[in-house]
Structure 1
Amino acid sequence: MTRDDVPQAAEFPEGQLADWRKLVDGVLKGAPFEKLVGKTYDGLKIEPLYQRAKDAAPVVGRSPAAPWQIMQRIDHPDAALANAQALTDLENGATGLALVFAAGSGAHGFGLEPSADAVAKVLKDVHVDAGMAIELQVGPQSRMAAIHVAEYVKTMGIDPAACNIRFGLDPLAAGAVWGRSPYTWDEIKVAVMSGIKGLAGLGFKGPFASADGRVIHDAGGSEVQELAFVLACGVAYLRAIEEAGVRFEQAQAMVYARLSADADQFLTMAKFRALRLLWARIEQACGLTPKPLFIAADTAWRMLTQRDPYVNMLRATMATFAAGLAGANAITVLPHTLALGLPDPFARRVARNTQLLLLEESNLAKVSDPAAGSGGVETLTSELSEAAWALFQETEKAGGAFAALQQGLFQGKVAATRKAREANIAKRRDVLTGVSEFPNLHEADVKVLEAKPITLAPYGAEKFRFASLSPMRLAVSFEQLRDKSDTKLMADGNRPKVFLANLGTPVDFMARATFAKSFFEAGGILAVDSEGFVDPAKLADAFKASGAELACLCSSDKVYAGQAQAAAKALQTASARAVYLAGRPTDAEAALRAAGVTGFVFASGDALATLDDAYRRMDVT
């Protein structure tokens, strides 16, 4: 044996978990170990360290070393301009087009006109039989788009079997978003099956029906809720297809899934892997030999921000990275300016190139399921699978997906998760970079295209009404405060201001002044910095000269003990509408409030409530 044959770490003793725990306990200094254990919104524990999973088999997704489909969103209301976008995308690296029609679940205000003429214009010079993928995103009002696409293929003399089209029929997702349905499930499935059998009869290979988990994710739901909803919808469509006389072996290829991918890398990876395992379990229960489920991914709508939208590029990159490594078959990156309006060519190019860079330069598709054997990802995959299966069983007991929506089963769980999520955002426990943390009040405007959205006629008379799963964005509450600030700036040339009343030396106040600046500017209140003060009178003069209406004391606890009360009284005398103190309330809270301190700003405090109160005190509406 040569030296090169000996593992480089052979001379070191093998690390043991118990040894690591001893080191951790020394750092914690008596604090409970549970402080290091996180939790998902499903209550699953996230341990700080996992051991390697032994004998873990890769979760089969794409074929070995096969790239995922680079889907580009086509949603411009003007069909001719949408066609120009599609051709540009295909010429510059996209391998598929996601045709988003108006009023579809993922349209987000825009979308194509679902007419035969518009379809023909959008697909002009697009070689739909040349190996590229097409995915339709339709809703009940735009359902005829699927028929128009099929008719276009026939008119052009193209063999339907040569086309790779996912038709995206999904009335369950549409009903969940709308919160109503004009038909019973028995009526709906007959219509769906009529469409599927018609398309299959023409020679299209599908898949035809989509089980869309984005509905849950967009509404603020959890990973378990999203997985269970996909399973419930997928099974509902499988049953409908089988009841229409199609053999399960054929039905197996007629259903596909769509999931949201967000910036939480490990949870996203575990979610995609879990869905494959869960669907294989369903296939086995149906007496089928499991085949890899086709899973399409969209980067998450709810994580997009209007403020500092360039950070959305980073979020989308992480989401694409996670979905790609977890075996997604197709990925659509939502352009970083979509929350502001219809994306321009630059935003579309960035969305496209995000995938190209990860595939062509980082070679992410070269390794199949690289997370296999990772203790953390394997554990999360297993726990998500178990919890999602339990919720799926609960849905089945309720009578299936449609009945569960009628009973509010999913809506109640999603609403609770959304409420918890919004509370953590308000307290900045869930950080939104560029919005709730590290805001930029001097950011330049971002360009979007001017386009008039298409308005479609109402669909059907309302027969059933239930709670809707309406989409949300996590950043909206902070963005609304920033809007107030912008309105004031346009009205009188000035933003709301808070004077950072720094006490002592920079060593004393710098950390809390930096925190306070980010805290207030997250709500659009411009922070006016200052030198350290000792004399309350000079502090009051500096406050008056700043033009601010609010003040925030910033220093160390030691300095606060000797100077905070006098400083607060001086600021109150100088007509400060509110005086805040950067730091947690202590035993001196009562004395500080008596001296004029209005409130305290600190990590995990309710930032939204404090900022709302600040605007109220300044009479800014």
Structure 2
Amino acid sequence: MTDRSEDVPLVSEADWRALVERQLHGAPFETLETLAEDGFRYGPIHARRGAEPILREGAGRPWSVVQRVDDPDLGRATRQADDDVKGGATGVAFCFAGSPAARGFGVPLDADALAPLILHDAGDRDVARIRLEPHADLAALATFAGRLTQLGRRGVDVGLDPVGPLAGVGPRPHDAADLAARFADAVRQAHEAGVVGRLVEADGRVFHDAGATPAQELAAVLAVAVQALRTLDGAGITVGEAADRLGLTVALDQRAFIGIAKLRALRLLWARLMELLAGPAAPARVHAETSFRMTTVHDAETGILRNTVAAFAAGVGGADSLTVLPHTIAAGLPEAKARRLARNLQLLLIEESGLHHLADPAAGAGGLEVLTDRLCEAAWAELQRIEAEGGILRSLGTGQLQTRIAAAAADREAKIAAGEEVIVGINRYRAPSEAPAPVLTIRGDTEQAATAVPGALTPRRLEARAGSAA
């Protein structure tokens, strides 16, 4: 092939800007900037940087492909776990009945009842990491983790979250002291039972699903982590010991650049938090899940594309593990095909696209670096606001954080309803007459039912609020 690079004229940024301004016909260059929902602006072009990569532990190795076990029927749940791990999953997440992650379904929080599932024909499942999704019954979760350890399962992440499950049912200011004591006892119980893995999970999904902006979700995750570290420090567990057993969970939606920047920002924010608390310099351990609020009942197949974008962002942004929600989950308990697609979507990105070989490809890219920086600034400002309100439990108890999240959700939903923000399958090119996707059990209308308790953070799916724009 002939090298014709010398024939290509060099164009400077000034040349590019001059050409763009002519095409704008007098409109200011700023009209090309994007106004993020967190209030900052970023433009169509930014200078390249010489930034260092933001790496996860095990960079260059595949992230953990985590599949949900959420079927109340234990026979089907057992078959699900077997199929998932034999089909390539490297992690299994138990979603317990009553957990926000269970979406109205879930397996019982009973280790003895689940022993057949845990031990039956384990085979390849022995190599899969187990994740216990956060649940309000902290003691039961710790007991379950201890029982798993007795049964010989190693590498269990317990998911003790001192805030998230409570936020979904409407916390009150006087809950804080009792919750702190129960949380510290549960962590101690799991530790003494010999559980190996993360004991604490700062989970941002309940905030995301309720409508939080990316910066609000990041701030909430950090505020939950601060609450956990503060509580455990009071119980005699040092910041260094606790931080080493703490995981962070966030949701990723259909916006690829926002998702990549969100994960990168979380790692930078965690490093800054550890610096201020004199904690370890170890990188954050981040689990990502595709967004529930972007799922649809009608025209559900468009969700496969949104999931693909979110999973791509997770891989490029450096998630340690990822759960892709089956695209039919808004309609009910997903059947085998939807679960297989969710699993294989990740496997395609790993085994055919080799996405895990890219160690922070966003490093140095001006636009993504600026987006990462501004998300960091906005999230840190929100974290300071939460702390000034007395910490996340106090902020939730007095309704201040919920008010800000509700305002952000209302603004987003108004733009979607007006067509100012386009999401294909939700407010553009939607098929309103199409039947819901097939599921094992149809979900009830829990959108608004979900708790009429004041202050509760409940899911706000975008499809349900898209109005007449579809």
If the length of structure 1 is used for normalisation, what is the TM-score?
0.71
Which of 145, 148, 155 is the equivalent residue of 2:144? 148
In the other structure, the counterpart of 1:319 is: 310
1:113 pairs with 2:104: no
2:327 equivalent to 1:336: yes
Which residue number in structure 1 is paired with residue 95 of structure 2? Answer: 100
1:80 aligns to what? 75
- Paired residue for 1:133? 129
What corresponds to 2:66 in structure 1?
Answer: 71
Residue 25 to residue 190, structure 1, CA distance change in 2 (3 Å): same
What does residue 56 of structure 2 align with? 61
State whether residues 331 and 442 of structure 2, in contact with CA within 8 Å, keep that contact through their aligned partners in structure 1: no
Cα pair 2:172 2:396 within 8 Å, conserved: no
Structure 2 residue identity aligned to 1:47:
G
By how many angstroms is 1:117 displaced? 3.4
User: How far did residue 441 of structure 1 move?
Assistant: 4.6
Q: Secondary structure at the match of 2:293?
A: coil
Deviation of the 1:148 alpha carbon: 2.2
Corresponding residue for residue 448 of structure 2: none
Task: Give the Cα separation in 2 of the matches to 1:232 and 1:348.
Answer: 33
Equivalent of 2:39 in 14, 37, 43: 43
2:180 is matched with 189
Q: How many residues align?
A: 461
Q: 2:382 corresponds to which letter in structure 1?
A: L
Given the superposition, is the C-alpha separation of residues 419 and 185 from structure 1 closer, same or farther in structure 2, using an over 3 Å criterion? same
Q: Which residue of 1 aligns with 2:119?
A: 124
Structure 1 residue 51: deviation in Å?
2.0
Inter-CA distance 450–216: structure 2 relative to 1 (3 Å threshold)? closer
The letter for the 1-side match of 2:372 is: T
CA contact (8 A) 1:177 1:469 kept: yes
Displacement of 1:11 in angstroms is 5.2
Q: Distance in 2 between matches of 1:182 and 1:451?
A: 36
Cα distance, 1:323–1:350 mapped onto 2, change above 3 Å? same
Q: Determine which of 376, 386, 391 is the counterpart of 2:382.
A: 391
1:161-190 deviation per Cα after TM superposition (whole angstroms, max 9, x unaligned) = xx1111111131112111135963222122
Contact kept, 8 Å, 2:297 with 2:436, in 1: the verdict is no
Deviation for aligned residue 1:424: 0.4
- In structure 2, the residue matched to 1:271 is 262
Matched position secondary structure for 1:123: helix
Deviation at 1:78, TM superposition (A): 1.0
Worse-matched range after superposition: 436-445 or 14-23: 436-445
1:166 to 141, 157, 160: 157
Structure 2 distance, partners of 1:389, 1:281, is 10
Asked if 1:302 corresponds to 2:293, the answer is yes
Alignment of 1:206-355 (within 5 A): 206-355=197-346
Looking at CA atoms only, which structure, 1 or 2, has the larger radius of gyration? Answer: 1
Distance 1:97 1:350 in 2: 16
- Matched-pair contact (CA < 8 Å) for 2:129–2:155: yes
Name the SS of the counterpart of 1:473 in structure 2. coil
Aligned partner of 2:169 in structure 1 is: 178
Q: Secondary structure at the match of 1:342?
A: strand
Query: What letter corresponds to residue 277 of structure 1 in structure 2?
Result: L
Q: Is the 8 A contact 1:303 1:474 kept in 2?
A: yes
Match of 2:85 among 87, 90, 95: 90
Find the aligned partners of 1:141 and 1:204 in 2 and give their Cα distance: 18
Return structure 1 stretches of 4+ with deviation > 6 angstroms: none
Distance 1:284 1:382 in 2: 18
- 1:410 is aligned to 2:401: yes
Q: 2:418 aligns with which of 427, 449, 474?
A: 427
User: 3-state SS of the aligned residue for 1:205?
Assistant: coil
2:5 is equivalent to residue 14 of structure 1: no
Per-residue CA distance 1:218-273 (angstroms, 9 max, x = gap): 01110110011011100111111222112332112121110001110001110110
The alignment yields a C-alpha RMSD, in angstroms, of 2.2
2:456 to 468, 471, 477: 468
| Worse overlay, 122-131 or 87-96 | 122-131
Q: Which one of 22, 27, 33 corresponds to residue 31 of structure 1?
A: 27
Greater relative contact order, per chain length (Cα 8 Å cut-off, separation 6+): 2
Letter in 2 for 1:477: R
- Range with greater deviation from structure 2 (86-95 or 400-409): 400-409
Letter in 2 for 1:411: Q
Matched residue SS, 2:439:
coil
**Aligned mates of 1:151, 1:56 — CA distance in 2:** 45
User: Separation in 1 of the partners of 2:400 and 2:298?
Assistant: 34
SS in 2 for 1:450: strand
Counterpart CA distance in 2 for 1:246 and 1:33 is 53
What is the letter of the counterpart of residue 471 of structure 1?
P
Deviation at 1:89, TM superposition (A): 0.4
Instruction: Give the partner amino acid of 1:147.
Output: T
Is contact 1:97-1:133 (8 Å) kept? yes
One-letter amino acid of the counterpart of residue 53, structure 2: P
Asked if 1 retains the 8 angstrom alpha-carbon contact of 2:129 and 2:156, the reply is yes
Matches within 5 A, 1:577-592: none
Q: 1:466–1:308: structure 2 CA closer, same or farther, 3 Å change rule?
A: closer
Q: Report the secondary structure of 1:180's partner residue.
A: coil
Letter in 2 for 1:406: G
The amino acid that maps onto 1:311 is T
Asked if 1:449 is matched to 2:440, the reply is: yes
Gaps of 5+ in 1: 454-464, 482-518, 523-621
Deviation for aligned residue 1:35: 2.2
What is the Cα deviation at residue 344 of structure 1? 0.6
Question: Any conservation in 2 of the 1:175–1:181 contact (CA below 8 Å)?
Answer: no
- For 2:175 and 2:427, the matched residues in 1 are separated by 44
The AA in structure 2 aligned to 1:376 is G
Deviation at 1:379, TM superposition (A): 0.4
- Deviation digits for residues 107-163 of structure 1 (CA, Å, limit 9, x no counterpart): 211111112333213313336984321111132257514412421431x3x2x6xx1
2:450 equivalent in structure 1: none
Distance 1:251 1:149, change over 3 A: closer
Of residues 138-147 and 328-337 in structure 1, the stretch that sits farther from structure 2 once superposed is 138-147
Amino acid at match of 1:120: A
- Letter aligned with residue 474 of structure 1: L
Give the 3 Å change call, closer, same or farther, for CA 233–23 of structure 1 in structure 2: same
CA distance in 1, matches of 2:124, 2:187: 20
Are the counterparts in 1 of residues 172 and 397 from structure 2 also a CA contact under 8 Å?
no
1:52 partner letter: R
Structure 2 residue ranges without an equivalent (≥5): 445-452
The amino acid of 1:367's aligned partner reads L
| Amino acid corresponding to residue 132 of structure 1 in structure 2 | A
CA distance in 1, matches of 2:263, 2:442: 35
1:371 partnered with 2:359: no
Alpha-carbon displacement from aligned partner over 1:193-235 (angstroms, at most 9, x marks no partner): 1111121112223311111111111011101100110111001
Counterpart contact for 2:138–2:160, Cα < 8 Å: no
Whether the 8 Å CA contact 2:331–2:436 is kept in 1: the answer is: no
Gap change, CA 1:232 and 1:124, over 3 Å in 2: same
